[in-house]
Structure 1
Amino acid sequence: MGTHIERRDGGIVVLTVDHPPVNALPVKGWFDLAEALRDSGADPQTRVVVLRAEGRGFNAGVDIKELAADPGHDKLVAVNNGCYEAFKAVYECPVPVISAVQGFCVGGGIGLVGNSDVIVASDDATFGLPEVDRGALGAATHLSRLVPQHMMRAMFYTGQTVTAGQLAELGSVHRVVARDGLLEAALEVAADIAAKNPLVIRKAKAALNGIDPVDVNRSYRFEQGFTFELNLTGVSDAIRAEFGRDEEA
């Protein structure tokens, strides 16, 4: 369990997230992922990072059960900080980050993928934000990097998901492949990037971030404020408790 770092030839680093059963990350998981991303990018030998996951799906967001077991708000504050750090680490990684996505990519998974540079997905991958159904908000910042504005709003309000194929048609997903060829496809893209001059690629990443129309770190932090508000009203606790009962049924 955890996040594993594998350094491959040519300056390619593969980060694998493995938190059974569905890669819903606890507080520590988010901070560990952020640290792995920062460590990988800080290594001058790293030219590109591939972010992937084991299991049925890429990421199921935060560990709702961990939050529900906390009688106060300590875990909520901690996991929000962990998500912020992980999303920020993807975006600010000084080399390109390629997300290799299979199965479900929801909640916090959208934050990771939306901040990545390139997305390769399996043909069974689906993307969405069920936050409203969980009594929370957040990651609309990152979903809006994947789909047009009005589509993002409809998805956010309804919890609707979209397929990798749909995102490919929009230009957000670079390649759609069979699940058993996902890592290979991501590594092919990584090798293409890694073959370029490493200084030029690092400067290109900094330049592209510098011309982004939205400050993703500030934007996501703004969203999180409304999550805190919802939790202070008590509505989020009630929704999470109902979610837990549905899981047990």
Structure 2
Amino acid sequence: MSVFTSVPESAQGVAVVTVDYPPVNALPVRGWYAVADAVRAAGRDPATRCVVLAAEGRGFNAGVDIKEMRRDSGHTALIGANRGCHAAFSAVYDCEVPVVAAVQGFCLGGGIGLVGNADAIVASEDATFGLPELDRGALGAATHLARLVPQHLMRALYYTSRTVTAAELHAHGSVWQVVPRAELREAALELAREIARKDGTLLRFAKASINGIDPVDVHRSYRFEQGFTFEANLSGLADRIRAGFGTRREEGGT
């Protein structure tokens, strides 16, 4: 289980941050902080002009590790997960250079937070995106889903816990390219290489300026959402919902 950074010889100026937490990339608290640290470090490197955020395995991200939550009789794991997710999402958004997310398979819960804060998304044909939070006793990342789909669709997806395909997001303009799974990494690197051919200092200016004109403060809005997650947990509601989660195949959710 790890998060590691590589610099492909074929992509000068590009750093690839890869998440590998089998079996489904449902991240424990330390995993979210590891993502945050790796993305921030890559962006700070003067030699880096674009970061690709990728994952090993059958899915990009299945959210937080619900099993870790269950092992905690108090609220330490919940607080850690909320802070860890906030750190990882913020690292992607605040990365000094553009971040391209390479998404395969499922992208759920916290995965939406990561890709919603990325600058561009390249996805495989089998990629699906969604927030199953209401089915898992949690709330959050509507902030980031709203960056991928129109407002009313975001609400319907959030309330129903349904997913959308990469092709559907491509039609909405939030996914740059949809490719066969075997071609995903190269397609993401191709876009990153094109970005990395620009001047590194000017790219940093561009990232900061684009973030500065965002209509929504993603940091504050996500923390606002998390407040309701705490309320659901303190009331016992979240525990009752999570009690039936064991029959699900993919352990995750924000």
TM-score normalized by structure 2? Answer: 0.96
Q: 1:149 & 1:229 partners in 2: Cα distance?
A: 25
User: Does 1:223 pair with 2:225?
Assistant: yes
Q: Is the 8 A contact 1:101 1:125 kept in 2?
A: yes
Q: Which string of whole-angstrom CA distances, capped at 9 and with x for unpartnered residues, describes residues 186-233 of structure 1?
A: 000000000011111111000100000000000000000000000000
Q: Which string of whole-angstrom CA distances, capped at 9 and with x for unpartnered residues, describes residues 139-198 of structure 1?
A: 000000000000000000000100000000000000000000000000000000000111
State the Cα distance separating 1:2 from its structure 2 match. 1.0
Q: What pairs up with 1:17-166 in 2 under 5 angstroms? A: 17-166=19-168
State the Cα distance separating 1:8 from its structure 2 match. 2.8
Higher relative contact order (CA 8 A, sep 6+): 2
- One-letter code aligned to 1:95: V
How high is the sequence identity, in percent, across the aligned residues? 65
Q: 2:168 & 2:248 partners in 1: Cα distance?
A: 30
State the Cα distance separating 1:246 from its structure 2 match. 5.4
Q: 1:77 & 1:134 partners in 2: Cα distance?
A: 16
1:240 matched to which residue of 2? Answer: 242
TM-score normalized by structure 1? Answer: 0.98
User: Does 1:193 pair with 2:187?
Assistant: no
1:16 matched to which residue of 2? Answer: 18
Moved runs in structure 1, 4+ residues, more than 4 A?
Answer: none
State the Cα distance separating 1:245 from its structure 2 match. 5.2
1:5 matched to which residue of 2? Answer: 5
Structure 1: stretches of 5+ with no match in the other structure? none
- One-letter code aligned to 1:7: V
**Number of equivalenced pairs:** 248
Q: Is the 8 A contact 1:65 1:244 kept in 2?
A: no
Residue of structure 2 aligned with 1:211, choices 210, 213, 216: 213
Give the SS at the match of 2:243: helix
Q: 1:164 & 1:245 partners in 2: Cα distance?
A: 26
More helix by share: 1
Q: 1:118 & 1:246 partners in 2: Cα distance?
A: 30
Q: Which string of whole-angstrom CA distances, capped at 9 and with x for unpartnered residues, describes residues 20-78 of structure 1?
A: 00000000000011000111111111110000000000000000010011100000000
State the Cα distance separating 1:120 from its structure 2 match. 0.1
